[in-house]
Structure 1
């Protein structure tokens, strides 16, 4: 059996187009991967492109590249499988794919495989930057495919980008109306038919555990975590404590959430008269735990409250979420503490922090039964002798002892952890609360922005007749003892969200991102039902949406049919004028037949209409010379072109017998 014919080898220009499409498709994916992994894959992609710039790499080199890069990706992902690992593997394969690009068929395979990357990026991020880079990658890929088609057809010329873009624009214009109709009108379900795979690498943010000293990277991350719009009065910035995971269990090093308390009934509260009504736009976290202004009065639809007023969603938050919540500061919070909870809020691991426990017992003996006096004494001690800094040493086994008696410097994790251990040692039920503190008010959109750098930890102690009371030992540090803060490391972000350095340009950028979230990412099934509500129409049901989508889709298909049958725009002005003149003759029944040359057509017209033939023959000769025999360049050629276009436009055949 004869060997199948091979596709033609690649010339350098076509190879470069294929590589450009691969690089453009890889870029948005790399921006969403962890820095070390993205840098490794990018370095490999650059090395492979340099190696295969003129010819494909040897098969042994390709094998070594594939094995080493796959092994590196798996090692960096700690051999965990999920969305991150799958996308990283796709990026790695795309990075080494150019090494085997030798023929036109290989180039098509490279571009086709590359197009998976920008679409897979949306599994990790749905922001406007990812969309813009994905569209750019798609445009470059279409241009590359057009180049491949020209080469396969034997056209070795190199049309300019200006000449290629109209054809690409025509293809895009065909698909955009149907795409928009499907996005806005195709009936959406409240929940998808299938789940999105879990992420292998956890997103930075609040978790259900806290180890003092491990939040430095999080507190240096200015990525937005939620945007809040208040309906009515907003609390003062120092009142904005966004309650997140409540940590009860301490093993001597880390604080964690227990599993037993989540299904217990919500603790009773007596809210104060102050009410805060607000809507939170929460960035995806891949976790079920949400935050809410301390304390939420009730759980919005799709969420529930735990016994300690932690807000939990029914499903992991893999996409942007929007929640309408009401909160109020408590006048009393669980005034009666059950014995099981009291025991959990006093438990300490044996064999840790003996100096702290000795001090706590001493204070208890001196204060008697006055728990509030012990709390005030601890806060006064912190205010007088402790300092705030992010530069903290790694603490040892007795971490609380070392912090309270040796270093006396740290940030919110150290203060809250040590304070709760001290209170428990004195017999006061207490727990650690993590979340965010403060925020930045964007004056452009009049909403509050809370970043990951606003992460904070504080304490809650249980006092008789009052219940749980918030105590923030970090805020007690005297201002003159605050040495190293986030303002020193990242201007415009602070522990309490003071963003005085944020420029109007950044405000505008975040406001635009919020608009994107609201207009695109927040367009869910409920909002789709109310799509025509501004026009005074009732909410659309499933049948109404299907009917509307069918009508819009039918119009979009008619638009595609019209564009596909319409003659493409001619880039050459001389040809455009020639075809326009042909259409004028066609209206007289003398149009040029598809098999006729320009000269044959002019002679046929001269036989039928001698009054038109002489001028048409002159124009046809000029057109033939310009089209097939023209050798002039520069200004003279441009002048001749303009003169011929004017002559073709001016020639207007008239019906028989009509006087000029």
Structure 2
């Protein structure tokens, strides 16, 4: 029977299963938790059940059908990146069921290496990279063990020397890898039509329906990081402006697209002014956010009439934007009639109780719009509560919220407030974005999480223009002004330790974004700016890459040549002796034992009887007999001359 078809022993099987498990781990961490746990459990069951004997064909078929059904149940039937990665994890989980021979083990390890690569389609963070590297090292070590098993050598527990040998194989290609990453000319768009959103997450939408943000508000992953240069705004000013929603159909607020093509509305800025840089995590949209209000659009971005910022393409990778903002003293103090009508529009036949109350307030307040605003805020502050447990409402959603439930979260409060203002004849609109932030103690920057997504209102008041009003802050200021840092500082103890770990982990992630994910074509072209080279074109980058690649390949060849040098000093001395006799035409044949060779040389050169023959006998005893090492032999071999 061929060695590759020989049934696996326990040790090679264990190494193959361990390598496959380490390769599967980073992919499981990116899948939905229920699917990941089920896939992991199936993988453990298959590995244990097939340890001694192959699983029957009917059971393998049943497992495959169950895994396919589970994947499509959780991920849906539409094929795409996420579903494909889940199917890959499922196939790898049941692959050990048919791993019986050395060839099967090699197939398992090779197939398993697709899993960490697939994980990079879902996440490109340092954890995924570290786990992927660990999986690659485990796969290389396993392949070495399988080669030993095929050669009939004993498979032993890993030693530091064996692990070091595997690590050296990886280190051998590292210089070339770094040269390719830093210097190989990059292009500004993905190859082969791969979408920019390959690792992006849903961003702020241009529409809002109360109830849609539950997933956002339960997600504590970072949405953006902000580095201030100079003064930092107070917490109550940390409103990060995103889409402005003007149109309302009775349930859903949407953006008016025509406003994107107009120049920004006139604004008179107040003091102070804030200078900062935003690092945005990947999203599937073009929408940027800025501290309310941005003074100008950053480079390569555009600003709409309502001061929304837009990138030229979807933000599918980490991006950085340098901005300046200032609070407005007057924001469009003269409103156009077209915009005024849009900001007062309400659908017919919806929310009659709300509109009746608004008309009553208007009659009682006369022309004092500010009094109506304060009356609404006072009512909310006195009778309403903040909660995320806000079920979807019926047709008259605003009436139900204001007069029955009187509890909800920012989407409910902002939507109801704007409808109430419009009913009273006050132009109003919904603004979405983020609020607050959390200062990272290690990096000194601010982190805004996806759970900080927020919606507030803007009302138009005479002489002042658009004024920000946050009804959520009226009922739950802790939702807006408290930060994670404040809450953990109160708890202290273990919570404080969690805060420190979170700070350090995010600081590491930011560094990864800066040096790896954020290293795009523009930054590559500016790579040598510290050396006085302002811009590198593709040709110059190609030449630099070629030079460093040659140096890296030369280093690899030198390392390999050094590796070919015999490490055993006794063998080096013996081979040197052989070469000296080979110059006389008396070199040893590859198949010739040491003593046979010495006797052949003695027949031609009798004077070697008392020198070469004893040396050969000592060498044979030292190499093959169970005797103590001859410490002087190597030196005697080097001294001997034909």
User: Aligned equivalents of 1:410 and 1:264: distance in 2?
Assistant: 35
- Give 1:425 deviation, angstroms: 1.3
User: Aligned equivalents of 1:466 and 1:487: distance in 2?
Assistant: 31
What does residue 517 of structure 2 align with? 521
What does residue 574 of structure 2 align with? 582
- Give 1:39 deviation, angstroms: 2.5
- Give 1:5 deviation, angstroms: 11
Match of 2:546 among 540, 550, 553: 550
What does residue 350 of structure 2 align with? 352
User: Aligned equivalents of 2:366 and 2:639: distance in 1?
Assistant: 115
Q: Is residue 76–residue 83 contact of structure 2 (8 Å, CA) maintained in 1?
A: no
User: Aligned equivalents of 1:656 and 1:4: distance in 2?
Assistant: 47
Structure 1 489/232 Cα, relative in aligned 2: closer, same or farther at 3 Å?
Answer: closer
- Aligned pairs for 1:24-43 (under 5 A) are 24-43=22-41
Match of 1:321 among 319, 322, 333: 319
* Partner SS for 1:267: coil
Q: Deviations over 1:605-627 (max 9, x none)?
A: 9966677558735642541345x
Structure 1 522/615 Cα, relative in aligned 2: closer, same or farther at 3 Å?
Answer: farther
Q: Is residue 224–residue 452 contact of structure 1 (8 Å, CA) maintained in 2?
A: yes
- Give 1:583 deviation, angstroms: 6.0
Matched, 1:654 2:639: yes
- Give 1:384 deviation, angstroms: 2.8
What does residue 179 of structure 1 align with? 177
- Give 1:157 deviation, angstroms: 4.0
What does residue 414 of structure 2 align with? 416
Match of 1:285 among 274, 283, 286: 283
Q: Is residue 299–residue 305 contact of structure 1 (8 Å, CA) maintained in 2?
A: yes
User: Aligned equivalents of 1:262 and 1:598: distance in 2?
Assistant: 88
Structure 1 408/17 Cα, relative in aligned 2: closer, same or farther at 3 Å?
Answer: same
Structure 1 100/369 Cα, relative in aligned 2: closer, same or farther at 3 Å?
Answer: same
Structure 1 502/381 Cα, relative in aligned 2: closer, same or farther at 3 Å?
Answer: farther
Q: Is residue 200–residue 316 contact of structure 2 (8 Å, CA) maintained in 1?
A: no
What does residue 383 of structure 2 align with? 385
- Larger fraction in helix: 2
User: Aligned equivalents of 2:562 and 2:92: distance in 1?
Assistant: 37
Structure 1 67/302 Cα, relative in aligned 2: closer, same or farther at 3 Å?
Answer: farther
The 10-residue stretch of structure 1 (373-382 or 39-48) with the greater mean CA deviation from structure 2: 39-48
Q: Is residue 458–residue 474 contact of structure 1 (8 Å, CA) maintained in 2?
A: yes
What does residue 253 of structure 1 align with? 251
What does residue 21 of structure 2 align with? 23
- Give 1:439 deviation, angstroms: 1.0
What does residue 11 of structure 2 align with? 13
User: Aligned equivalents of 1:305 and 1:589: distance in 2?
Assistant: 85
- Aligned pairs for 1:330-345 (under 5 A) are 330-345=328-343
User: Aligned equivalents of 1:401 and 1:505: distance in 2?
Assistant: 45
User: Aligned equivalents of 1:536 and 1:607: distance in 2?
Assistant: 73
- Aligned pairs for 1:119-268 (under 5 A) are 119-158=117-156, 160-197=158-195, 203=201, 205-268=203-266
User: Aligned equivalents of 1:411 and 1:489: distance in 2?
Assistant: 22
Matched, 1:532 2:543: no
Q: Deviations over 1:101-156 (max 9, x none)?
A: 23333222222221111112111111100000001111111122222322333335
User: Aligned equivalents of 1:442 and 1:614: distance in 2?
Assistant: 76
Match of 1:111 among 109, 112, 117: 109
- Aligned pairs for 1:336-485 (under 5 A) are 336-392=334-390, 395-477=393-475
Q: Is residue 201–residue 282 contact of structure 2 (8 Å, CA) maintained in 1?
A: no
Match of 1:505 among 487, 494, 501: 501
Q: Is residue 198–residue 316 contact of structure 2 (8 Å, CA) maintained in 1?
A: no
- Give 1:364 deviation, angstroms: 0.7
User: Aligned equivalents of 2:471 and 2:513: distance in 1?
Assistant: 36
Q: Is residue 11–residue 155 contact of structure 2 (8 Å, CA) maintained in 1?
A: no
TM-score computed with the length of structure 2 as normaliser = 0.88
**Equivalent residues, number:** 631
Q: Is residue 244–residue 434 contact of structure 1 (8 Å, CA) maintained in 2?
A: yes
The 10-residue stretch of structure 1 (176-185 or 29-38) with the greater mean CA deviation from structure 2: 29-38
Which ranges in structure 1 are unaligned for 5 or more consecutive residues? 631-639
* Partner SS for 2:293: coil
Structure 1 569/159 Cα, relative in aligned 2: closer, same or farther at 3 Å?
Answer: farther
User: Aligned equivalents of 2:526 and 2:4: distance in 1?
Assistant: 56
* Partner SS for 2:542: helix
TM-score computed with the length of structure 1 as normaliser = 0.86
User: Aligned equivalents of 2:145 and 2:249: distance in 1?
Assistant: 64
What does residue 42 of structure 2 align with? 44
- Give 1:42 deviation, angstroms: 2.3
- Give 1:588 deviation, angstroms: 6.1
User: Aligned equivalents of 1:505 and 1:101: distance in 2?
Assistant: 41
Structure 1 194/303 Cα, relative in aligned 2: closer, same or farther at 3 Å?
Answer: farther
- Give 1:365 deviation, angstroms: 0.8
Q: Is residue 491–residue 501 contact of structure 1 (8 Å, CA) maintained in 2?
A: no
User: Aligned equivalents of 2:561 and 2:200: distance in 1?
Assistant: 51
- Give 1:184 deviation, angstroms: 0.7
Structure 1 310/44 Cα, relative in aligned 2: closer, same or farther at 3 Å?
Answer: farther
User: Aligned equivalents of 1:355 and 1:11: distance in 2?
Assistant: 78
Structure 1 219/490 Cα, relative in aligned 2: closer, same or farther at 3 Å?
Answer: farther
- Give 1:385 deviation, angstroms: 2.9
Structure 1 139/487 Cα, relative in aligned 2: closer, same or farther at 3 Å?
Answer: same
Q: Is residue 286–residue 316 contact of structure 1 (8 Å, CA) maintained in 2?
A: yes
* Partner SS for 1:25: helix
- Give 1:600 deviation, angstroms: 4.6
What does residue 634 of structure 1 align with? none
